[in-house]
Structure 1
Amino acid sequence: MTNELQGRVAIVTGGASGIGRGIVERFVAEGANVVIADVQDELGAALAERSGPNAVFRHTDVGDQDQMSALVDATVERFGALDVMVNNAGISSPLRRGLFSEDLTEFDRVMRVNLLSVMAGTRDAGRYMADHGGGSIINLSSIGGIQAGGGVPVYRASKAAILHFTKCAAIELAHYEIRVNCIAPGNIPTPILQSSATGQDRERLERFEARIRAQMRDDRPLKRDGTPEDVAEAALYLATERSRYVTGIVLPVEGGTTAGKVMVRKPSPEENGARQ
C-alpha cells in the first residue's frame, strides 16, 4: 500500500457489503478515515470494528434526504473534513417475465435509493467541498445503465440516469475544483443479483444466478469474474491526485462487456495476425 489517501476523509454509502465493502477496505488500507453508511447495522458495525479507528459506521437510509445531509454533517464533525464522497448504495428491481408483467410497484423505492441518494449525496458533499478547496465525488452506476437489455427496467433506468446526472454535476461543480465521476461495474458477484429474483426457493435462485453468471461470462472478452476489489481500485484512482484532471467520465469495470460481443471461438495467433 502507498498511503495515497493518508489523512483524507471519505464517505462510502452502501459500504457494509459487496462493492461498498471492497471500497471501504481499500480506502482504509490507503490511510483514509472512512464513514461507512448503510442500513445493515450488524455488517456495518463489524466492518468498522475490523477496520480499526480510521473507520466508523453510521446507520443511514440513503433514500432519505435528511439522513444524507446529516451523514455529511456527522462526518465533518467526526473527522474534521470531507474529501471523497462515494455514492455506492443501490438495490435491484424484481426480475419479472417481460415488460408486460411489470407492475412498477418498486419504482419509487428503487429510484429513491439508487438515484435520489446519488443526487442528494452529490449535492450535500458538494456544498461542503465548495467551501473547502474541492474534492472528489464518485457515483456508482452499472453496465445496466450503459447497455440496453431485457429485464429489471426500473433498475436499468435508475442506473442510466446516474450517468447523465454525473456529467451534469461534473460541469457545474468544476468551478469549485470538485471532480464528479462515475464507475459502471458489471459481472461482479454481489448479493444484488439475488435480490432481483423474487418468489423463488433457494435451489431455483441458485440455478437462476448460475445461469445469469454463465451468460455474463460468455458475453465478455475477459473471462475471469470481476471482484469488488477491482471496482475499489478504480475508485481509488478517481479519489486520488492521480485523476486530478479527470472529471465527468464514466469508467466501466466489467471485463470489456460494453466493448462488444466476443467471437464464437478463440482465434489462433496466426488468425489474429500475430508475428511468429
Structure 2
Amino acid sequence: MADELQGKVTIVTGGASGIGRGIVERFVAEGATVVIADVQDELGEALAAQSGSNAVFHHTDVGDQDQIGDLVSTTVQRFGALDVMVNNAGISSPLRRGLFDEDLTEFDRVMRVNLLSVMAGTRDAGRYMAEHGGGSIINLSSIGGIQAGGGVPVYRASKAAILHFTKCAAIELAHYEIRVNCIAPGNIPTPILASSATGADRERLERFEARIRAQMREDRPLKRDGTPEDVAEAALYLATDRSRYVTGIVLPVEGGTVAGKIIARKTAPEGNGTPA
C-alpha cells in the first residue's frame, strides 16, 4: 500500500535515530507530516532536511512534561491537527554486575524519560484528539518489559510500566475514539544497548554488545536480526485505519523471543525428523 497516512499529522518522540528514525522515514514515505522530537539536534535537523517538506524537527526533552505539552501545542498550531502520537523516546539504565551493585542513581532520569514521557505524551495528545474526532497513540515498550531477566532493572521496570499504562489509557480513551496501543521491540540493533554499559572503552564495549547480540540471536526462533524498519511496519499498521478496531494491545516485534526458546530436537531412529 502507499499513502496510507496521507494528510495525517504525526509526532514521533526520539525520532532522530534508531527505531524512531525508522518510524519517521516510513511515515513520511506514506504521506504523513511528521514532527521529529528529540534532544539530538544535529541528527534531528539532518533527518528533517532529508525528509523534505513533510518533516520538521522540534527540540524536546521528553523527561520534562512541560516540553511535551509545548511539543503538542506547537504541532497543532503549525499544522492544524494531530492524528498520531508515537511515544518512542527511551534510554537504558546502566548495566551493573548484579542487583547488589545497583545504586539506583539513574532511577529518576530513566523513569522520567521512559515512563513519564509516555504518560504525558498520551495525556496531552489525547486531550487534543478527544475534541477532534479521535486518533491513534502508539507507545514503545520493550520485550524487557514483558520478560523478566537479570540486569538493567530500572529500565525493565520502566518498560513494564508502559505496558500496563497503555492498557489503562486504552480503556479510558476509547470513549473518545482514541486508540492506544503498545509495541514491544526486541533484538533490534540500536545505540540503546551499548549505552547500558558503563566505564568501558570502545573495544570492550564492542565485545560486550557482540556477546549480548549473540545471546539474543541464540534465544529467538527467527534467526535474522530485526531492524527499525520492522518496528516501523508495526507502527504503520497501528497508525492507520487498518487497525481501527484494535486498542489496548501489546504487539511484540522480536522474532518470536517471548514465545519461548528453541529446544534442541532429537530425530527418530528412522531419521524422518520427527521430534523424539
TM-score, normalized by the shorter chain, greater than 0.5:
yes
| Aligned structure 1 segments of 4 or more residues deviating by more than 3 angstroms | 265-270
CA separation in 2, counterparts of 1:218 and 1:247? 32
Per the alignment, residue 227 of structure 1 pairs with: 227
CA separation in 2, counterparts of 1:264 and 1:181? 35
Per the alignment, residue 108 of structure 1 pairs with: 108
Per the alignment, residue 214 of structure 1 pairs with: 214
One-letter amino acid matched to 2:225: D
Per the alignment, residue 197 of structure 2 pairs with: 197
Counterparts of 1:236-275 in structure 2 under 5 Å?
A: 236-264=236-264, 270-272=272-274
Structure 1 residue 97: Cα displacement: 0.3
One-letter amino acid matched to 2:134: G
Deviates more, 1:256-265 or 1:3-12: 256-265
Q: For the structure 1 residues 170 and 265, does the alpha-carbon distance in structure 2 shift closer, same or farther, using more than 3 Å as the test?
A: same
One-letter amino acid matched to 1:228: P
| Matched pairs, number | 273
Tell me the percent identity. 88
Structure 1 residue 77: Cα displacement: 1.1
Q: Deviations over 1:135-161 (max 9, x none)?
A: 000000000000000000000000000
In the alignment, structure 2 segments of 5+ residues that lack a partner are none
CA separation in 2, counterparts of 1:208 and 1:5? 39
Per the alignment, residue 48 of structure 2 pairs with: 48
Structure 1 residue 267: Cα displacement: 6.8
Per the alignment, residue 77 of structure 2 pairs with: 77
Structure 1 residue 270: Cα displacement: 3.5
Per the alignment, residue 88 of structure 2 pairs with: 88
One-letter amino acid matched to 2:167: K
One-letter amino acid matched to 2:273: E
SS in 2 for 1:199: coil
Per the alignment, residue 59 of structure 2 pairs with: 59
One-letter amino acid matched to 2:235: A
Counterparts of 1:81-230 in structure 2 under 5 Å?
A: 81-230=81-230
Per the alignment, residue 14 of structure 1 pairs with: 14
SS in 2 for 1:53: helix
Structure 1 residue 79: Cα displacement: 1.1
Structure 1 residue 271: Cα displacement: 2.7
CA separation in 1, counterparts of 2:265 and 2:20? 35
Q: For the structure 1 residues 72 and 272, does the alpha-carbon distance in structure 2 shift closer, same or farther, using more than 3 Å as the test?
A: farther
CA separation in 1, counterparts of 2:137 and 2:100? 37
Structure 1 residue 78: Cα displacement: 1.3
Q: For the structure 1 residues 17 and 267, does the alpha-carbon distance in structure 2 shift closer, same or farther, using more than 3 Å as the test?
A: farther
Structure 1 residue 68: Cα displacement: 0.2
One-letter amino acid matched to 1:74: T
In the alignment, structure 1 segments of 5+ residues that lack a partner are none
One-letter amino acid matched to 1:196: S
CA separation in 2, counterparts of 1:264 and 1:99? 31
CA separation in 2, counterparts of 1:236 and 1:164? 22
Per the alignment, residue 68 of structure 1 pairs with: 68
RMSD: 1.3
One-letter amino acid matched to 2:135: G
